[in-house]
Structure 1
Amino acid sequence: MALSLSSSSSSHFHHFAASSDPNVPPIGSLQLLHPPHVLSSGVNYSRIRGCSVVKPMNAQSKRNDSLVPFVANTLAPEVAERTEIVDYDGLAKDLENASPLEIMDQALGKFGDDIAIAFSGAEDVALIEYARLTGRPFRVFSLDTGRLNSETYQFFDAVEKQYGIHIEYMFPDAVEVQGLVRNKGLFSFYDDGHQECCRVRKVRPLRRALKGLRAWITGQRKDQSPGTRSEVPVVQVDPVFEGLDGGIGSLIKWNPVANVHGKDVWNFLRTMNVPVNSLHSQGYVSIGCEPCTRPVLPGQHEREGRWWWEDSKAKECGLHKGNLKQGDVPQLNGNGNETPSVNDIFISQNLVNLNRTGMENLTRLDNRKEPWLVVLYAPWCQFCQAMEGSYVELADKLAGSGVKVGKFRADGEQKQFAKQELELGSFPTILLFPKHSSKAIKYPSEKRDVESLTAFVNALR
């Protein structure tokens, strides 16, 4: 998708060349309506964390027209280019107690046409309303993953009509999506985590969009995810993505509602009579792709409705991966995909935890002293978690009976081995290794209660 122009409902702007408000100078003006927080020292801080060299809004620079059309067709007369060194850590502290409207006004005033609002189709429609209230021109973009709820697409349409804007949609690369689906199916994320699918459908399209900008505005709030967003500042040098000029510090990230509580955002939306996604009335709070989003129950945190089968401590799709502390960053498996770090499951003194060598030895034995029942699992898998109680109870029940019960974590680096040597199809896979046979027998049923598993073992032991 090519990023194009959006503006407030009170007036339409052609390529942001002019404004109908006589109090607002054109984008080509050098006037800084909101002077930035500038360091007084003569030291070059451009390479220090939290600082960034920012060009004036009308300064000409390289722009890749294949990604983002040149929207500012009307340029001011040639002037000597000026640069300013902005301490964004200091600016974040100055704006810590500022209202979302003030923060939004600072962001739009500072970056003009080189900033855009990231709109997900959830309650961050509040950002668009704040932008409208500033009276400044603004742009809105969104990521269409191809897996959104129909209600979300209807909401996009309602927002465009409400504000008289055109949302700038970014789409995933069709070849990449085709390769992922053909190789791993439509729902691979339930088996090996959401990161690979999100990387194809969301992260890479976002990266393309941000390469045409110098700043972006998000709806992140500190209370959305205590595990990953509790320290989100109102403005920062983006720690993950690059902007128009490329390199570290080339993109600024604004989070105007970082310090606002969710209930206050909703009070604002109701007061301003802003359109909202109809999914919210069905129990959805945090809204993403349809297969990865579900309603939450009363008392549950809003992020519990996202990727519910995975670790609750690291629920980021990659768009805001910079929120993850170093110890929380997922590890890469042998296929280059990310595997979340989660607490282990199937914990019992009557369960043997098998490693790769143990599984290889087990598959080579023709004559075992006793049969083995082994579950191939991933601790983040919702189906593995669901059967944990029954499998542990079965292990306790079979203790001393002559049947060994074990577990083998088969995700990450072990997944390819498990697929090739252990018939792993999806998690969990349960195998019985008979006493006098080297060939494992795969449990065929979806019933994973104690009685069904016991019947399977007794029939083949």
Structure 2
Amino acid sequence: MAFATSSSSISASFASHSSSQQERKYSKIGSLRPISSQRRSLVKPICAEPKRNDSVVTAAASTLAVPEKVEIEDYEKLAKELQNASPLEIMDKALEKFGNEIAIAFSGAEDVALIEYAKLTGRPFRVFSLDTGRLNPETYKFFDAVEKRYNIHIEYMFPDAIEVQTLVRTKGLFSFYEDGHQECCRVRKVRPLRRALKGLRAWITGQRKDQSPGTRAEVPVVQVDPAFEGVDGGAGSLIKWNPVANLEGNNIWSFLRTMDVPVNTLHSQGYISIGCEPCTRPVLPGQHEREGRWWWEDAKAKECGLHKGNLKEENIPKLNGNGNAAANSNEIATIPDIFNSQNVVTLNRTGIENLAKLDNLQEPWIVVLYAPWCPFCQAMESSFNKLADKSAGSGVKVGKFKADGEQKAYAKQELQLQSFPTILFFPKHSSQPIKYPSEKRDVDSLLTFVNALR
């Protein structure tokens, strides 16, 4: 078990525990003995890894007492009370309430801010992370830098070797590119997380409302975890704290720069949301941070399963055979259309089929295949409309084709659609459209593409 703690906290812990408590041994995960309802004298570790020799926390400091009686709390009410509280205040409340039975989930990205906030409270705290076996080298180096900076031992959780072996031998190393990321994430992330949380009563995450408007817009600062169970088992046995839920990404980065904490070097290469190496790539100006995750999928809900409780049942997209989301017709009807410039031509199925069939167009076309609900399509609306305005009278037509719902199968088979948005250029003397290969969707990049091919 590992903690980050100040010297004053350590001294207090030494003074409050006898030598007999120092000799008490913990059980490993999978062999946890039931906790008495009368008294919780010890807290089980997330994983029973040996401590580093240079750890400043001895066995005496790892036997923090917890309350004999756990009071039933109204967490919806508490969330409202803390709605306008600072992250530091929320973090302090979480550590105060749960002591050694709560831990920070650290992903190796900007949620290092959570560790800094925990340190600033002056209270002991624990940190755990999921090592999927497929992280970037930079992330592993970042883990080491964080351990040294805060003098802590991150408690790593690993996927089950047999499950990984079965997945890879059966489906290969990169099956997620073909059938969606959920199965791989379930083996490498969700199940290890489930084991970790079974040793806790609460956990702390770096979720923010602005990270994913489709799935995280209503994340409260504290909640009963809707998806996972804690040490007591059963619904309601785990509390989830989200101290930075109300912050925006730029606020987090201002805090990190001010406190001069170590950060993952991948951030300087354009990565914002960082996951496994095969499933993460940099994002470009104008792109949402989650667009760098599982970019080959066009699902509205870009979640790996760690926070699946964010997905309301009515918002969970139905998946087709390749793991992509099939839009719900009732939902589409309530979402306003996009790319509504007077210079953008709306193409129906017949119109796009004609473009794809004609060998001699009078004018070249650039067409966006889109879905109105797609946040990445919404993000490029302004630049595409500007492209249409700049192209007016130039001999290049600009169009849009709504390719979700019942049109999606056709678009995937005939129009090279893999994810939304897909941009196609139809030359004058060819029926074969050319797919825009770049993730740069600013108007200048789009104009360069058009002018090179017109």
Q: Under TM normalisation by the shorter chain, which class is it?
A: 0.5 to 0.7
Q: Counterpart in 1 of 2:174?
A: 187
Q: Greater shift after overlay, 197-206 or 304-313?
A: 304-313
Q: Counterpart in 1 of 2:336?
A: none
Residues 98-153 of structure 1 deviation map (CA, whole Å, 9 limit, x = unaligned): 11011101111110111000000110000000000011111111111111111111
**For 2:129, what is the secondary structure of its paired residue?**
strand
Detail structure 1 runs of 4+ shifted over 6 Å in the superposition. 54-58, 64-69, 427-430
The match for 2:9 among 19, 27, 32 is 19
The answer to whether structure 1 residue 258 and structure 2 residue 245 are counterparts is: yes
The answer to whether structure 1 residue 322 and structure 2 residue 309 are counterparts is: yes
The answer to whether structure 1 residue 287 and structure 2 residue 261 are counterparts is: no
CA distance in 1, matches of 2:188, 2:303: 14
CA distance in 1, matches of 2:312, 2:426: 38
The answer to whether structure 1 residue 103 and structure 2 residue 100 are counterparts is: no
Residues 386-413 of structure 1 deviation map (CA, whole Å, 9 limit, x = unaligned): xxxxxxxxxxxxxxxxxxxx99959xxx
How much does 1:64 deviate? 8.7
How much does 1:180 deviate? 1.1
Contact preservation (8 Å) 1:55, 1:82: no
CA distance in 1, matches of 2:64, 2:75: 28
How much does 1:307 deviate? 1.1
Code of the residue aligned with 1:59 in structure 2: it is: R
The match for 2:115 among 105, 112, 128 is 128
Q: Counterpart in 2 of 1:348?
A: 349
Residues 248-302 of structure 1 deviation map (CA, whole Å, 9 limit, x = unaligned): 0000000000011111110100000000011111111111111111111112111
Q: Greater shift after overlay, 89-98 or 188-197?
A: 188-197
The match for 1:59 among 40, 55, 65 is 40
Contact preservation (8 Å) 1:218, 1:253: yes
Equivalent runs, 1:58-457 vs 2, <5 Å: 59-60=40-41, 74=63, 81-331=68-318, 340-342=325-327, 348-349=349-350, 409=409
Code of the residue aligned with 1:153 in structure 2: it is: Y
CA gap 1:258/1:74 in 2 versus in 1, 3 angstroms? closer
TM-score with structure 2 setting the length: 0.64
Code of the residue aligned with 1:236 in structure 2: it is: Q
Code of the residue aligned with 2:174 in structure 1: it is: F
How much does 1:234 deviate? 0.3
Residues 333-387 of structure 1 deviation map (CA, whole Å, 9 limit, x = unaligned): 79xx96534489x9723899xxxxxxxxxxxxxxxxxxxxxxxxxx99x9xxxxx
> % of aligned pairs identical?
68
Code of the residue aligned with 1:320 in structure 2: it is: H
CA distance in 1, matches of 2:76, 2:84: 14
How much does 1:59 deviate? 2.1
The match for 1:6 among 3, 7, 11 is 3
Contact preservation (8 Å) 2:138, 2:265: yes
C-alpha root-mean-square deviation of aligned residues, in Å? 4.0
**For 2:72, what is the secondary structure of its paired residue?**
strand
How much does 1:309 deviate? 1.8
CA distance in 1, matches of 2:282, 2:74: 41
Code of the residue aligned with 2:112 in structure 1: it is: V
CA gap 1:174/1:332 in 2 versus in 1, 3 angstroms? farther
CA gap 1:292/1:174 in 2 versus in 1, 3 angstroms? same
Q: Compare CA radii of gyration and give the structure with the larger one.
A: 1
CA distance in 1, matches of 2:139, 2:315: 30
CA gap 1:272/1:73 in 2 versus in 1, 3 angstroms? closer
Structure 2 residues not aligned, in runs of 5+: 19-34, 51-58, 330-346, 354-370, 377-405, 415-424, 434-454
Q: How many residues align?
A: 333
**For 1:84, what is the secondary structure of its paired residue?**
coil
**For 1:177, what is the secondary structure of its paired residue?**
helix
Equivalent runs, 1:14-53 vs 2, <5 Å: 19-20=9-10, 22=12
